[in-house]
C-alpha cells in the first residue's frame, strides 16, 4: 500500500532512458537503464532518447498530484492527427491542508509525429529515402515535434488532500473526489470546463486564483479516509466508494443529487484499495484489498461478495477490468507483481483464481494499472520503482526476430537480455509514479502523474488502431 505524495513544490527533473558516458566521444553504445538493477557510475548520466516517442512532454499544476482523470470531450471519438487537445481534472497533495485544490486543466497544441521503430528493410525504396535526412533537418523536426504545449488551469479549493478523483464518462463535468479528511464529494465543473473550451488564449496558466465552489453532495458516512471510488460505465451516475475501514458504500443518482446507502457492503478484512464497475453488467462491481483478495459484488443479492478469491500474497493495490474483453481483470500488488485473471475460471464462491498471466518485472509496489481502451491485449502499469511499462499479452518470444532487431539496434543501445516477451515499452524519468490513464479518444496516448509532475507520452511503437476485442 504505497500512496503518500505530500511534499513541497518541486523542481523539474530530466527524463532519461539510456545510460551513457558524459564524454563527447563514448567508448561504447549506451546501455538501456534498469532501475533497481543498474547503478550510475562516476561520469555517467541518463540521456533521453526522443526517437522512442511520437510525443513526450511534462507539465505540472503547482503541487504534487496523487490522482487525476482524463475528461471525455466533444472533440472527436477517435483522434489520430496532431495537434491534440486534452482536458483533465487533478487533485493536489499540498504542504498544508488549506492550500489544496482541484486543478481543471486544458492542454493544447500537443504536436508530434509518427516514427518507425526500426529502419525499413528494403534498400533504395521511397521510404528509405524519406527516412534519411541530414542532422540539421532532424534537429529542426525535433524542435517542432516537442515544442511546448499550452496549459490552461482553473483551480477549485478542496478541503484537504485529494486521495482520488474520477470524472463520470457519461457526464464528464461531474467528478467525485476522495479527501484525506475522510469524506467523498461530487462536483459539477461544467462552468470551469466551458471557460477552458471557449478560451482561445495561447498563454499558459491564466489567473492563479483559487475559486470557492460548492460540491453537489458531501458524504461523511465513511468511518475512515479512503482511496477507492468508481463511476459505473453502464448506469449513468451510479457510484461506489470504499475506505480504509473495509467498507463500501453505494451511491444511487436521484434528481440533482445522490442517495448514499449508509448500510455498507462488507466482506474484506482490511482496507479497500480500489473499485471497478463491470464494463457490461449494471449491478456488478469488483474490489481489491490489503487482505490480498479481489471480491466481485452484485448489488441485487445483498451486502456480501458474490465471489471472493485470493489474488496475491500481499496487498492488492489496484485493479482494472478489461472493457474490451470483460472476462479478464488485471491486478497489481505491493510486491511489484501484477496478474491477469480469467474470471470464467473462478471456482466456487471463495477460492483461488486461475491466473492467465503473472509478471514479476517491477521492483517496487505497483501503483496503477489500466487496460488500453483500444487494444484488448494491451495494458499499462506504473510502479514506485519509477517505471511506467506497457505490455501486449498477445506477443510471444521469437528468437529470430529478436536477433534481427538486436542487430539493427546494436549501434544505438545495449538492451537487456532477459526482458519478458510481452513487455512492449518502458518509460522512465519520473520519480515515484502514482497513477496513469490512457486517453480513450486519442489512441496511443497516456498521461501519468508522479512526485515531480505529469508526463504526456505517445510511444512510437504503439500502433494506432480501432478498438478490437479478444486476444
Residue 259: predicted pLDDT: 98
Q: Which three cell numbers stand for residue 420?
A: 519478458
Cα–Cα separations (whole angstroms), residue 280 to 191, 370, 421: 31, 17, 30
Least confident of 87-91, 348-352, 412-416: 412-416
Residue 102: predicted pLDDT: 98
Q: Is 348 exposed, middle or buried (0-12, 13-18, 19+ CB in 10 A)?
A: exposed
Average pLDDT rounded to a whole number, residues 219-234:
98
Residue 362 maps to a domain:
yes
Yes or no: say if 219 and 178 are a contact pair by the CB < 8 Å rule.
no
Per residue in 415-426, pLDDT tens? Answer: 666 789 999 999
Residue 31 maps to a domain:
no
Residue 19 maps to a domain:
no
**Alpha-carbon dihedral angle through residues 117, 123, 129, 132, given to the nearest 10 degrees:** 50
Q: Is 124 exposed, middle or buried (0-12, 13-18, 19+ CB in 10 A)?
A: exposed
Cα–Cα separations (whole angstroms), residue 325 to 320, 321, 371, 373, 441: 12, 8, 10, 10, 18
Inform me whether the pLDDT recorded for 413 exceeds 50.
Answer: yes
Average pLDDT rounded to a whole number, residues 103-113:
94
| Structural domains of the chain, count | 1
Residue 187 maps to a domain:
yes
Inform me whether the pLDDT recorded for 116 exceeds 70.
Answer: no
Nearest to 450 by CA among 103, 90, 183, 154: 90
State what percent of residues in the chain have pLDDT above 70: 77
Q: Cβ contacts of residue 42 below 8 Å, gap of 6+? A: none
Going edge to edge, which strands form the sheet with 174-179?
A: 162-167, 174-179, 184-188, 217-219
Average pLDDT rounded to a whole number, residues 134-143:
44
Phi-psi region of 246 (alpha: psi -120 to 50; beta: other; left: phi over 0): left
Q: How far apart are CA 6 and CA 162, in angstroms?
A: 10
Nearest to 324 by CA among 286, 281, 280: 280
Residue 38 maps to a domain:
no
The CATH number covering residue 201 comes to 2.130.10.10
Nearest to 41 by CA among 54, 30, 53: 30
Mean pLDDT of the chain: 85
CB atoms within 10 A of CB 254: 10
Residue 46 maps to a domain:
no
Residue 294: predicted pLDDT: 97
Nearest to 87 by CA among 146, 153, 148, 145: 153
Residue 306 maps to a domain:
yes
- Band (pLDDT 50/70/90 cuts) for residue 135 is very low
Average pLDDT rounded to a whole number, residues 293-316:
96
Least confident of 168-182, 342-356, 457-471: 457-471
Yes or no: say if 304 and 267 are a contact pair by the CB < 8 Å rule.
yes
Q: Cβ contacts of residue 222 below 8 Å, gap of 6+? A: 182, 183, 184, 241, 243, 245, 247, 249
State what percent of residues in the chain have pLDDT above 90: 69
Per residue in 11-40, pLDDT tens? Answer: 333 334 444 444 444 556 666 767 667 777
Cα–Cα separations (whole angstroms), residue 57 to 35, 53, 69, 93, 100: 21, 10, 17, 22, 25
Beta-bridge partner residues of 449? 435, 454
Q: How far apart are CA 283 and CA 281, in angstroms?
A: 6
Least confident of 6-10, 34-38, 56-60, 287-291: 6-10
Average pLDDT rounded to a whole number, residues 279-291:
98
- Band (pLDDT 50/70/90 cuts) for residue 44 is confident
Q: How far apart are CA 226 and CA 311, in angstroms?
A: 21
Average pLDDT rounded to a whole number, residues 30-53:
76
Per residue in 160-215, pLDDT tens? Answer: 999 999 999 999 999 999 999 999 999 999 999 999 999 876 666 556 899 999 99
Residue 26: predicted pLDDT: 52
Inform me whether the pLDDT recorded for 93 exceeds 50.
Answer: yes
Scored b (16 or more CB within 10 A) or e, 373-391 reads bbbbbbbbbbbbbbbbbbb
Inform me whether the pLDDT recorded for 119 exceeds 50.
Answer: no
Structural domain that includes position 219: 56-121+146-459
Kindly report the three-state secondary structure assignment for every residue of the chain.
Answer: CCCCCCCCCCCCCCCCCEEEECCCCCCCCCEECCCCCCCCCCCEEEECCHHHEEEEEEECCCCCEEEEEECCCCCCCCCCCCCEEEEEEEEECCCCHHHCEEEEEEEEEECCCCCCCCCCCCCCCHHHHHHCCCHHHHHHHHHHHCCCCEEEEEEEECCCCEEEEEECCCCCCEEEEEECCCCEEEEECHHHHHHHHHCCCCCCECCCCEECCCCCEEECCCCCCCCEEEECCCCCCCEEEECCCCEEEEEEEECCEEEECCCCEECCCCCEEEEEECCCCCCEEEEEECCCEEEEEECCCCCCCCEEEECCCCCEEEEEECCCCCCEEEEEECCCCEEEEEHHHCCCCEEECCEEEEECCCCCCEEEEEECCCECCEEEEEECCCCEEEEECCCCCCHHHHHHHHHHHCCCCECCCCCCCCEEEEECCCCCCCEEEECCCCCCCEEEEECCEEEEEEECCCCCCCCECCC
Residue 68 maps to a domain:
yes
Inform me whether the pLDDT recorded for 86 exceeds 90.
Answer: yes
The better pLDDT of the pair 307, 3 is held by 307
Amino acid at each position: 500500500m504505497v500512496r503518500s505524495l505530500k511534499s513541497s513544490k518541486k523542481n523539474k527533473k530530466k527524463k532519461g532512458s539510456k545510460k551513457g558516458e558524459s564524454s563527447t566521444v563514448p567508448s561504447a553504445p549506451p546501455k538501456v537503464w534498469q532501475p533497481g538493477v543498474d547503478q550510475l557510475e562516476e561520469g555517467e548520466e541518463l540521456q533521453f532518447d526522443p526517437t522512442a516517442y511520437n510525443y513526450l512532454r511534462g507539465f505540472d499544476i503547482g503541487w504534487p498530484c496523487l490522482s487525476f482523470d482524463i475528461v471525455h470531450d466533444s472533440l472527436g471519438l477517435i483522434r489520430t492527427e496532431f495537434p491534440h487537445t486534452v482536458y483533465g481534472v487533478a487533485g493536489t497533495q499540498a504542504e498544508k491542508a488549506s492550500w489544496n485544490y482541484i486543478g481543471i486543466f486544458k492542454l493544447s497544441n500537443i504536436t508530434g509525429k509518427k516514427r518507425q521503430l526500426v529502419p525499413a528493410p528494403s534498400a533504395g525504396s521511397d521510404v528509405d529515402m524519406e527516412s534519411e535526412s541530414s542532422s540539421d533537418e532532424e534537429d529542426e523536426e525535433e524542435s517542432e515535434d516537442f515544442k511546448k504545449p499550452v496549459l490552461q488551469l482553473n483551480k477549485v479549493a478542496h478541503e484537504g488532500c485529494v486521495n482520488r478523483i474520477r470524472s463520470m464518462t457519461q457526464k464528464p463535468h461531474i467528478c467525485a473526489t476522495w479527501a484525506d479528511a475522510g469524506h467523498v464529494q461530487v462536483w459539477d465543473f461544467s462552468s470551469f470546463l466551458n471557460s477552458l473550451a471557449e478560451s482561445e488564449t495561447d498563454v499558459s496558466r491564466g489567473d492563479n486564483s483559487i475559486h470557492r465552489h460548492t460540491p453537489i453532495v458531501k458524504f461523511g458516512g465513511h468511518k475512515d479516509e479512503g482511496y477507492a471510488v468508481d463511476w459505473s460505465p453502464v448506469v449513468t451516475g451510479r457510484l461506489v466508494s470504499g475506505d480504509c475501514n473495509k467498507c463500501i458504500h453505494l451511491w444511487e443518482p436521484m434528481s440533482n443529487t445522490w442517495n448514499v446507502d449508509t448500510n455498507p457492503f462488507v466482506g474484506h478484512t482490511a482496507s479497500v484499495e480500489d473499485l471497478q464497475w463491470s464494463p457490461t453488467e449494471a449491478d456488478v462491481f469488483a474490489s481489491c484489498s490489503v487482505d490480498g483478495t479481489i471480491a466481485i459484488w452484485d448489488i441485487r443479492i445483498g451486502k456480501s461478495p458474490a465471489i471472493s478469491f485470493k489474488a496475491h500474497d500481499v496487498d492488492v493495490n489496484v485493479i482494472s477490468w478489461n472493457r474490451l474483453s470483460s472476462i479478464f481483470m488485471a491486478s497489481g500488488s505491493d510486491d511489484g507483481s501484477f496478474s491477469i485473471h480469467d474470471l470464467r475460471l473462478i471456482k466456487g464462491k471463495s477460492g483461488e483464481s486461475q491466473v492467465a498471466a503473472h509478471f514479476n518485472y517491477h521492483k517496487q509496489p505497483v501503483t496503477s494499472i489500466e487496460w488500453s481502451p483500444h487494444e484488448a491485449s494491451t495494458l499499462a502499469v506504473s510502479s514506485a520503482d519509477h517505471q511506467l511499462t506497457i505490455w501486449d499479452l498477445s506477443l510471444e518470444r521469437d528468437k529470430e526476430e529478436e536477433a534481427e532487431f538486436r542487430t539493427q539496434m546494436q549501434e544505438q543501445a545495449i538492451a537487456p537480455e532477459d526482458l519478458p516477451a510481452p513487455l512492449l515499452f518502458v518509460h522512465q524519468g519520473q520519480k515515484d509514479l502514482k497513477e496513469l490513464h490512457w486517453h480513450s479518444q486519442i489512441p496511443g496516448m497516456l498521461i501519468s502523474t508522479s512526485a515531480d509532475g505529469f508526463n504526456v507520452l505517445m510511444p512510437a511503437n504503439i500502433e494506432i488502431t480501432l478498438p478490437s476485442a479478444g486476444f
